[in-house]
């Protein structure tokens, strides 16, 4: 069974998780890894039985290019992973999981979903502090800033969870 890990990463968090999964599982499974931005022809996906697709979270769901990419995947075993600037175990994190479960086309078999910590882009955090969007209510803005200040890069615990989670998922479809 050939598996492709595909990722979309803005600040390096999702790339770090993708490569953590790859390094942790490459000796056990037939894996390849690719940056989503480098995939110009979706026919490349025809060579793979299973896709592990990673992305960063924007407004509670996959970033727009990843969302579009995922919608175009058909008839595959698919697993999704994401990085999030808020605590993955928070209510927002749980809402993100629900949204992730709705991303893949119904022709796919969704085998696993996981979210991991991601450090919020310091430029975005500074922008929220100095030039907040006018449409954003103050309490929500303050929550976003607070979560951003507490955010962190994916760590060893995140990597170990991702490796275990996706190894178990791949075993199910092997």
Summarised one tens digit per residue, pLDDT across range 55-93 is 999 999 999 999 999 999 999 999 999 999 999 999 999
Which CATH number fits the domain 2-118+153-173, given the four candidates 3.40.50.300, 3.20.20.80, 3.40.50.1480, 3.40.50.360? 3.40.50.360
pLDDT in tens, 120-172: 999 999 999 999 888 889 998 998 899 999 999 999 999 999 999 999 999 99
Contact 124, 11 (CB under 8 A): no
Q: Is the pLDDT of residue 1 over 90?
A: no
Task: Give domain limits for the chain.
Answer: 2-118+153-173, 120-152
What's the rounded mean pLDDT across residues 26-42?
Answer: 96
Longest alpha-carbon distance in the chain: 51
CA distance 64 to 71: 11
pTM for the full predicted model: 0.94
CA distance 41 to 45: 8
Give CA angle at 99 (93, 100), nearest 5°.
90
Q: Is the pLDDT of residue 101 over 90?
A: yes
CA distance 96 to 74: 22
Higher-confidence residue of 78 and 174: namely: 78
Contact 146, 75 (CB under 8 A): no
Residue identified by tokens 């579009």 is: 68
């Amino acid at each position: 069974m050939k598996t492709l890990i595909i990722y979309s990463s803005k600040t390096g968090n999702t790339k770090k998780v993708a490569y953590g999964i790859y390094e942790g599982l490459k000796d056990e499974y037939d894996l390849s890894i690719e940056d989503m931005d480098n995939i110009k022809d979706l026919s490349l996906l025809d060579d793979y039985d299973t896709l592990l697709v990673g992305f960063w979270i924007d407004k509670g769901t996959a970033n727009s290019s990843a969302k579009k990419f995922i919608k175009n995947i058909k008839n595959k075993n698919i697993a999704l992973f994401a990085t999030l600037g808020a605590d993955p175990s928070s209510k927002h994190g749980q809402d993100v999981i629900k949204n992730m479960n709705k991303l893949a086309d119904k022709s796919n078999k969704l085998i696993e979903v996981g979210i991991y910590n991601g450090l919020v882009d310091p430029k975005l955090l500074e922008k929220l502090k100095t030039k907040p969007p006018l449409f954003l209510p103050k309490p929500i803005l303050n929550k976003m800033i607070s979560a951003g200040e507490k955010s962190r890069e994916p760590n060893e615990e995140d990597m170990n969870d991702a490796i275990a989670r996706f190894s178990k998922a791949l075993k199910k479809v092997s």
